Amino acid sequence: MKLTHLLSDKLQAQFLGILLTLVIFSHAHAQPLDDVRLEYQATGIVATIRLTAPIQYLRHFPASHGKTVEIFYERLPSTAIDESWLDNELRKSPPSTLIPSFTVATRDQQTKPKLIIEFDRETDYNITSGKDERSLLITFQPKLLTMSSGALPALPTIKPEELSAPAANLTEEESSIAENNKKARTHMVEGRDALQANNNEIAVNAFNKLLLLPPNSYTQDGQEWVGVARERALQIDKAKTEYDLYLRLYPAGEGAARVVQRLVALAGLEDTNKSSYAVTEKKQQPPRRLFFGNLSSRYYYGHSKIETTAPFNNASTTSSQSLVDQRMLISSVDASQRYVSEEYDNRLVFRDVNTQNFLNNQPSQNRVNAAYGEIKNLSKDYFIRLGRQSSSGDGVLGRFDGISAAYGNTNKINMNAVAGTLSDFSQGSKPMFFGASINKGPTSVYAINQRVDGMTDRQAMGAEIKYYQGGRTAFALLDYDTYFKELNAVQVLGSVNAYGGTMNFMVDHRKAPTLSIRNALNGAGTSSINALLQTMPAESLRKLALARTATSNMGQIGLSIPLREKWQVSGDVRLTNTSGLPASGLTALEGKLQATPSRGTEMGVTGQVIGTGLYRDHDIWSGSITFNTSSAVNGYSIYLYNYNMYNNGWTINTSLQLYRQKDQFGSMTTRTSPMIRGAYRIKEQLYFDLDGGLEFSDFTGTQQTTKTTRIFYSGGLSWSF
């Protein structure tokens, strides 16, 4: 149970200094990546990539083997406040010698959201969606899993005692080593005899005594067999911890294959005898303190030239202007400190994304997206998180400052509570809320009450149901507001294996925005609910909020089919319809809003072809076309993309987007945008990338034409520690 990787106090102090400096910067986007972690399951070693808001996994490519994989997804409509997600966020995988290390990067969050996973070597993998609608799972089958297929040994093989020279001929150091080996062998024999007699707690104590000695000839075997002793004592969680530590310390050890085999056998099992090993609690392994995260900074620049031609005094006149439309430095920090012991898995998390804007009259803003501490007790099944955190569902409308807690076994009955104040960076008073939920297996029910300026803002009950089995997944959500007496949201989504590929679907009906008394502020001359209450009764305010809340309906279905080994074709159809709004407001304070007509039914149809290995190993080529139709606009877009990885460490991405639309008034808009991006890993933890592009836009209306030429570029550094 020796720990070899601890962060020095000096390095921590330097990091905190950098962190405090970065808080000065600001940014208006949110970070999409929440966590990347590894765990052993019966299916293999699973990497869980967790995001900060619900998503729907669509597809990935290549299917099961490669050095780079692209995962496509859509952000789900949700009761939470939507925020723009940040591109170019980078996260490094936890260290492991059993699977290739990898990086996770966010790309194209505002157009075709995807994650790019880059492995340090070619590997086999399987990718699926997680069970919480906020995660993606990458399953690896390490070669070690096939190295030991026979029966596992029942007792350890103890090395014979090493014969040493007479004590008089030994140095002081050699004498100490010989004495430690002698003591260690005694404990090893004691542990073996206890295992043979089924005295598992005595065996745990014996192996712990061995491991508390300085490193010796029996330390490695002792680390393996203390896991076996805990496993036989039904201390399943602690056995997993001991096996995991063995693989970290001795990845090429003689017992590595056996340890992986034991871990796979324990996957999904839990302690059934947690109260029977109180005697051994005093012999816990030393806690592990891990410090990790990412620092990044990126500069953006954009320049536009605009030429406008319009009639003036019966003649055609052309005017032009040139301006810098973007110049900013975006910096971000993502830092976590984790404390892991036999009893606890605790962490401190800080995330900040920010913008320093260099344009005149453009403000710089600070966005602390997360700043919390959490305590997770492994044996008593409770969890507490305090501070600024993202919503995990259960009716909470996004990021909040407060506390969330859970108690119970997630596979049986789990009780949750949450309370706090929303921190969505909006103007006006911040709503305060409290709620609770109960989970049993795949079903969860919740209730939440939210107030602002002394009156009810939202009061809702809801339920979630999840289903995952045999290539079929489904998720259903119902949210009903008991204060407005209106159905707030119904959502059903899932995926099935079909036609040799995967079909995904979603049906969504909801209020837009989510029902809230604060919807009355949309278009009002104040950002205060209290100010409106001074001029109207609560019931009138409730009716005003309802009048300013639309109803949105959406349906989507998609299909991805592999063609041979290196190709994949996919298609998606999406229908959306958002209702209009009546005229509302009688005074300037309320805001006098005219009626807004419905946009009618809008349809989008997308087809995509994607392939690999066309020009060189590990390259990715794709082309897609999307047709959009509605009562207001009809158009299409074509997107071509190429990704190449070179042996010198560079990756190069090129893309070309063509867009054309015609609106209901006969006006035509076309846009052409080529772009190139290069990235280079300077060292294992230091990453540099640079991109640039052009955009040519033409607008031809009945009275005016406008031509715009824009050049833009950005470059940044990212350090993972």
17-49: b (≥16 Cβ within 10 Å) or e: eeeeebeebbbbbbbbbbbbebebeeebbbbbb
Pair of tokens at residue 162: 């090493």
How far apart are the two ends of the chain, measured CA to CA in Å? 24
Give the model's confidence band at 27: pLDDT under 50 very low, under 70 low, under 90 confident, else very high: very low
Over residues 636-665, mean pLDDT: 91
Q: Do residues 701 and 675 make contact, with C-beta atoms less than 8 angstroms apart? A: no
For CA atoms 84, 292, 245, 68, give the dihedral sign. Answer: positive
DSSP-derived secondary structure letter, 169: G
Confidence band, pLDDT 50/70/90 cuts, at residue 365: confident
Beta-bridge partners for 655? 641, 675
CA torsion through residues 177, 180, 186, 189, sign: negative
Beta-strand relationship, 44-51 and 135-140: antiparallel
Q: Return the structure tokens found at 458.
A: 């939202």
Query: Are 680 and 688 a contacting pair, CB within 8 Å?
Result: yes
pLDDT of residue 69: 92
What is the per-residue DSSP string for 307-318? EEEEEETTEEEE
Q: Quick check: helix, strand or coil at residue 226? A: helix
Q: How far apart are CA 93 and CA 36, in angstroms?
A: 6
CB 223 within 8 A of CB 247: no
> For residue 299, is it within any domain?
no
Q: CATH code at 227?
A: 1.25.40
Angle 441-447-452 (CA atoms, 0-180°, nearest 5)? 145
Residues 231/266, Cβ–Cβ less than 8 Å: yes
CB of 636 within 8 A of CB of 625?
yes
| Any domain includes 281 | yes
Provide the pLDDT for residue 143: 59
Q: What is the pLDDT of residues 386-407, one digit of tens each?
A: 999 988 888 898 889 999 999 9
> pLDDT per residue over 218-253, tens digit each?
999 999 999 999 999 988 888 888 888 888 778 767
180 within some domain? yes
Residue 230 tokens read as 């805990």
Least confident of 392-396, 400-404, 443-447, 604-608: 392-396
Higher pLDDT, 581 or 146: 581
With both helix axes pointing from N to C terminus, report the angle between 236-249 and 219-232 in degrees, rounded to the nearest 10.
160
Distance CA(487)–CA(539), nearest Å, equals 19
- Say how many domains are in the chain: 1
Q: Is residue 211 part of a domain?
A: yes
Structure confidence at residue 175 as a pLDDT band (50, 70, 90): confident
**How many percent of the chain have pLDDT more than 90?**
48
Q: Enumerate the β-bridge partners of residue 582.
A: none
536 belongs to a structural domain: no
Residue 177 pLDDT class (50, 70, 90 cuts): confident
Convert the pLDDT of each residue in 541-575 to its tens digit. 999 999 999 999 999 999 999 987 789 999 999 99
Residue 633 lies in a domain: no
pLDDT of residue 255 exceeding 60 = yes
231 assigned to some structural domain: yes
Question: Whole-prediction pTM value?
Answer: 0.75
Strands 633-645 and 55-61: unpaired
- pLDDT recorded at residue 167: 56
Instruction: Select the more confidently predicted residue: 18 or 417.
Output: 417
Percent over 70 (pLDDT), the chain: 89
Whether 189 is covered by a domain: the verdict is yes
pLDDT(306) > 70: yes
Three-class secondary structure assignment of 20-63: HHHCCCCCCCECCEEEEEEEEECCEEEEEEEECCCEEEEEEECC
* Averaged pLDDT of the chain: 85
Report the SS3 class of residue 541: helix
Asked whether residue 63 carries a pLDDT value surpassing 90, the answer given is: no
Q: Which domain holds residue 205?
A: 167-257+267-287
CB count within 10 Å of CB 448 equals 23
State which of 4-13, 37-46, 696-705 shows the largest mean pLDDT: 696-705
For residue 108, name the pLDDT band (cuts at 50, 70, 90). Answer: confident
Q: Quick one: angle between helices 219-232 and 200-211, nearest 10?
A: 150
- Amino acid making up residue 471: G
Residue 717 CB-half CA count within 13 A: 6
**Using 50, 70 and 90 to split pLDDT, how confident is the model at 171?**
confident
